[in-house]
Structure 1
Amino acid sequence: MMKLDAHQHFWNYNIRDYGWIGEEMSVIQRSFLPEDLEPILTDSGVSGCVAVQARQTLEETEWLLELADKHDFIKGVVGWVDLRSEEASSQLEKFAANPWLKGVRHVIQDEPDVKFVLREDFQRGIALLEQHDLAYDLLVSKEQLPYAVELVQKFPQQRFVIDHLAKPDIKAGIGSPWKETMEAIAAYPNVYCKLSGMVTEADWNQWTQEDFAPYINTVLQAFGPKRVMYGSDWPVCTVAGTYAQVFNLLQTHVQSLPEAERQLIFGDNCATFYKL
């Protein structure tokens, strides 16, 4: 079984660019680079990963593409371009020429406008992605999720993937209306979901396997085994657990599934979605 991690990050830490890493996350107030991740992947039997942007700069995208060119285990990059800009077309033209670029992401969860994805300028940028055969990572909060349903409705040919299950309140054990909205967005066959970023939505210090079962089950039932994929969210996940703990959390949950379905979740779906 070839395993792939569909979601992780690299960064050279400085407080200016990574102000979102507060004191409560001091464990990740340092640099995380490919040489740090590679042995961790090997220990878990993971063959490769997709590096996802953590800064909203064109320099970040260039840097990640350079890392992918140097390290075989980085199978693809989800970068950033300013989809709202008049320069979006030329930015995409430039970066899409690089075979390591597989998708684009914007940190929508930090936008104060819950209807950000419905902005005309943003949707104009989304419309450009299909021309370059690029996927789009939807990093939205549970409050923004209903508007993401409207977005994907308008772009039936665009590949979308929801990052981090759209951040349900796992710590409080709240399921609705997140569950119903996830079922609504899963009705669109061009939308996938990453089983990622879960431990950081739980109680960082005392989560248990059982805390995640309702949320994982909702995603598996709504999207089916062919449209979900494993992602570690390393190194962000390490504020609440080791890479091995995050990996084993999902592996334990799906151990009763047929091997073919586990292969889809832990590798094949990622490769298919991002065209690795």
Structure 2
Amino acid sequence: MRIIDAHHHFWKYTAEEFGWIDDSMSAIRRDFLPADLKSAMDAAGVDGVISVEARSILGETGFLLEHARQNPWVYGVVGKAPLSQGKSAVEEYLAKTLPGADKLVGVRDVLQGSPIEVFSDATFNDGLSALAPHNLVFDLCIYHNQMQATIELVDRHPEQRFVLDHIGKPNIKDNVLEPWATQFRSLAERDNVFCKLSGMVTEADPTNWTAEQLQPYFDTALDAFGPKRLMFGSDWPVCLVGVEYPDWLSTVKTLADGLSESEQADFYGNTVLKAYRIDAD
């Protein structure tokens, strides 16, 4: 069975660009580059990965694409585009970026913490409308209290494929399921939306979490999306504040113990290839 990690980051650390890494996350205040990840992948038995932007700057797309060109086990890149500047700006940016960038499979805007008004902003939505004609996914990075606005955003773009990062960041730390679970199930009714089973440890207490605590959230995600639209992800190196890479995969295997062989093949590999339309054969 092929295992593909649907969500990780590379970076060269600077305090200015990574201000979100606070003192509680000091363990990841350093560079994380392909050699570091390959070592962790080999220890865990992971075959390939998707690189996702982490700095919310346009220049990061080229940085990630260069690593992808040099490392065949990086199957795809989710980069950045100037969505907030509207469709013409996105088209101009993609015209410069896409030639020779076969591994650019998606775009992300970190919407978590953004005002709800951003989700309905006309210029932002105009920019987002430029992605589907280029076969690019839009990764949704939100907090659980933005789920309803996310549903409305998705409904404005029925031709666009979306991937929800980190199961929508529910309040795992306080063991709160609602209203996240109900709204999450509603989002999953849109068949153009996929979901990453990632980022759960950091939404719990990274120093005091258990697989049992995560189980209800995994069960909700699996029931809502099914293994053909739910995919494994690590959120490495962010996950390292609470769990090592091989241990996270072992935890997920415990959570997903009831999956059949064919369901495991989808959850751990086939779904990410389908969502991002990657030919990795």
Structure 2 length-normalised TM: 0.96
Q: Please name the residue that 1:226 is paired with.
A: 228
Counterpart pick for 2:95 among 72, 93, 96:
93
Q: Please name the residue that 2:28 is paired with.
A: 28
Q: What's the offset of the Cα at 1:131?
A: 1.0
Residue-pair matches, total = 275
Q: Please name the residue that 2:257 is paired with.
A: 255
What is the DSSP-based 3-state SS (H/G/I as helix, E as strand, rest coil) of the residue aligned with 1:215?
Answer: helix
Aligned AA (1:77): V
Aligned AA (1:103): G
Unaligned runs of 5+ in 2: none
Q: Please name the residue that 2:13 is paired with.
A: 13
Q: Please name the residue that 1:142 is paired with.
A: 144
Distance 2:46 2:200 in 1: 19
Q: Once the two structures are superposed, what CA deviation does each residue of 1:238-257 show, in whole Å capped at 9, x if it has no partner?
A: 00111112111111111221
Aligned AA (2:153): L
Q: Please name the residue that 1:42 is paired with.
A: 42
Q: Please name the residue that 1:165 is paired with.
A: 167
Q: What's the offset of the Cα at 1:95?
A: 2.1
Q: Once the two structures are superposed, what CA deviation does each residue of 1:61-89 show, in whole Å capped at 9, x if it has no partner?
A: 11101110011111110000111115221
What is the DSSP-based 3-state SS (H/G/I as helix, E as strand, rest coil) of the residue aligned with 2:61?
Answer: helix
Structure 1 runs (4+) deviating above 6 angstroms are none
Distance 1:78 1:114 in 2: 23
CA RMSD of aligned residues (A): 0.9
- The answer to whether the 8 Å contact 1:96/1:132 transfers is no
Q: What's the offset of the Cα at 1:39?
A: 1.6
Task: Report percent identity of matched pairs.
Answer: 41
| 89-98 vs 74-83, which moves further | 89-98
Q: Once the two structures are superposed, what CA deviation does each residue of 1:104-134 show, in whole Å capped at 9, x if it has no partner?
A: 00111032x1232211111101110011000
- The answer to whether the 8 Å contact 1:2/1:47 transfers is yes
- The answer to whether the 8 Å contact 1:117/1:147 transfers is yes
Q: What's the offset of the Cα at 1:203?
A: 1.4
Q: Once the two structures are superposed, what CA deviation does each residue of 1:163-221 show, in whole Å capped at 9, x if it has no partner?
A: 00111010100000000000110000000110000000111112111001111111111
Q: Please name the residue that 1:202 is paired with.
A: 204
Distance 2:218 2:267 in 1: 12
Q: What's the offset of the Cα at 1:60?
A: 0.6
Q: Once the two structures are superposed, what CA deviation does each residue of 1:215-246 show, in whole Å capped at 9, x if it has no partner?
A: 11111111111100000000000001111121
- The answer to whether the 8 Å contact 1:168/1:175 transfers is yes
What is the DSSP-based 3-state SS (H/G/I as helix, E as strand, rest coil) of the residue aligned with 1:210?
Answer: helix
Q: Please name the residue that 1:183 is paired with.
A: 185
Distance 1:104 1:110 in 2: 18
Unaligned runs of 5+ in 1: none
Q: Once the two structures are superposed, what CA deviation does each residue of 1:28-62 show, in whole Å capped at 9, x if it has no partner?
A: 00000000000211121111100000011121111
Counterpart pick for 1:110 among 113, 119, 123:
113
Distance 1:256 1:43 in 2: 24
| 126-135 vs 88-97, which moves further | 88-97
- The answer to whether the 8 Å contact 1:115/1:144 transfers is no
Aligned AA (2:109): H
- The answer to whether the 8 Å contact 1:114/1:143 transfers is no
Distance 1:258 1:182 in 2: 24
Structure 1 length-normalised TM: 0.97
Aligned AA (1:24): S
Q: Please name the residue that 2:242 is paired with.
A: 240
